Amino acid sequence: MGLFGTKKTGKYEIGRTIGEGNFAKVKLGYDTTNGTYVAVKIIDKALVIQKGLQSQDQREIRTMKLLNHPNIVQIHEVIGTKTKICIVMEYVAGGQLSDKLCRHKMKESDARKLFQQLIDAVDYCHNRGVYHRDLKPQNLLLDSKGNLKVSDFGLSAVPKSGDMLSTACGSPCYIAPELIMNKGYSGAAVDVWSCGVILFELLAGYPPFDDHTLVVLYKKILRADYTFPPAFTGAQKKLIFNILDPNPQRRMKLAEIIIQDSWFKLGYTPAYHHPDSIKENVAEINAETASSNFINAFQIIAMSSDLDLSGLLEEQDDKIYKTKIGSKNTAQETIKKIEAAATYASLSVERIKHFKVKIQPKEIRSRSSFDLLSAEVIEVTPTNCLIEISKSAGELRLYMEFCQSLSSLLTAEVS
């Protein structure tokens, strides 16, 4: 008998419930292949369809797969059955930040560290066009060492055009004024506001805006009507005041917090030195089996008419592009074709797994213009592969040039 008994999903033994919502439960899982704990979010497919929440679940999975940062909960894989969708994620043992606060303020140094990690993670997301929109202590987890992890991307957004979003969401105490007004808004400004509310709560032990009546609460938020506790320092007040500006145009930007604010910068070391570097354990890569990723059960189930999850496999908008190209070669030969196409397009290739590569300009430029492309080879048969090329940041031009180069190379060899 396994650690949790006989109940299994794939290679994971499923244990006790560690979280629960209206449409999903989060279970403690155990990976029988490597002896590590995971969190398994089990979503009831029937309830999701009944309530029309397919897009929200798609969004959470798609968003978490895009992000690779030490202060963001990592998604390991998605397993689908006829009745359930199981999202296997990193297990964060320390629980929710809200449990740690419990109306007790934190030491200034601890509050600053957590706020720095929060801003680091949110800045990373924004650089990829991803906006959380529901930041609150309940969605911030702590690991066993007290480091912060952002979770629950069910309300996150990758805008389709421009930078204005229109769907109101978020939690009452942490919601930005422009959301209450039910107008178009900037996802970046909304997240910054929530970060300011969280910082206030870290230092005070309670949120700046609170009331038993929702109407009164919203009036306070719209006016930015709050009072600093006497113990707050001048530097703390200045930072929070500049963040909690009800006018999103005047509200402090993330870059201004990171670069300009003296209170924030004290002892600050970015958790992610390069926003597009993909961390991999070399030993783990070498230990992998020399076979590519076969199309898994979830991808097949995603094609089911019961629940259209194709958005998880193919997404294209102003920020994120994915292209799939067929290859009549072995997986190893296909990787060599990818490397040749990248060279032709003046790009460099770094292999991060046996059948996945990172593609970038040979000369790394500024962070804002850095291009992140990745290509993954999925083996369909021993001599037929599917290449999935993704662009999550940077210029569209290089992405298109690489895709054209690879397509031409593959077409020429079979003609």
Go through the domains of the chain in sequence order and give each one's CATH number.
8-90 (3.30.200.20), 97-265 (1.10.510.10), 294-414 (3.30.310.80)
Which of 57, 123, 134, 276 does the annotation list as catalytic?
Answer: 134
Torsion angle defined by CA atoms of residues 21, 168, 275 and 140, in that order, rounded to the nearest 10 degrees: -40
Catalytic residue status for 134: yes
Q: Which two tokens stand for residue 11?
A: 């290679």
pLDDT of residue 272: 56
Enclosing H/E stretch for 336: helix 331-344
pLDDT of residue 53: 54
- How far apart, in Å, are the Cα atoms of 55 and each of 59, 91, 136, 169? 6, 24, 22, 14
- In 121-165, the DSSP E strands lie at 140-142, 148-150, 164-165
pLDDT of residue 153: 61
Supply φ then ψ for residue 224, to 5 degrees: 50, 50
Per-residue pLDDT tens for 131-168? 888 899 988 999 989 999 998 764 333 333 344 433 34
CA pair distance 62, 75, nearest whole angstrom: 10
Burial of 153 (0-12, 13-18, 19+ CB in 10 A): buried
pLDDT of residue 49: 64
CA pair distance 392, 179, nearest whole angstrom: 27
pLDDT of residue 119: 96
Unique residue bearing structure tokens 């719209």: 222
User: Closest Cα to residue 412, out of 382, 386, 398, 404?
Assistant: 404
List all residues 6 or more positions away from 155 whose beta carbon is below 8 Å from its beta carbon. 56, 59, 132, 133, 134, 169, 170
Q: Which residues are annotated as a binding site for ATP?
A: 41
pLDDT of residue 312: 32
The residues that bridge with 26 in the sheet, in sequence order, are: 19, 41
Count of positions (residues) in the chain: 415
Per-residue pLDDT tens for 162-205? 444 333 444 689 999 998 887 777 888 999 999 999 999 999 99
**Cβ-contact 334, 342 below 8 angstroms:** no
CA pair distance 16, 29, nearest whole angstrom: 8
Residues of the chain with pLDDT under 70: 1-6, 21-23, 47-66, 103, 153-171, 272-321, 362-371, 380-381, 392-396, 412-415
pLDDT of residue 194: 96
Question: Is the overall model pTM greater than 0.75, yes or no?
Answer: no
CA pair distance 41, 121, nearest whole angstrom: 22
**Cβ-contact 286, 352 below 8 angstroms:** no
pLDDT of residue 23: 64
Q: What letter would DSSP give residue 378?
A: E
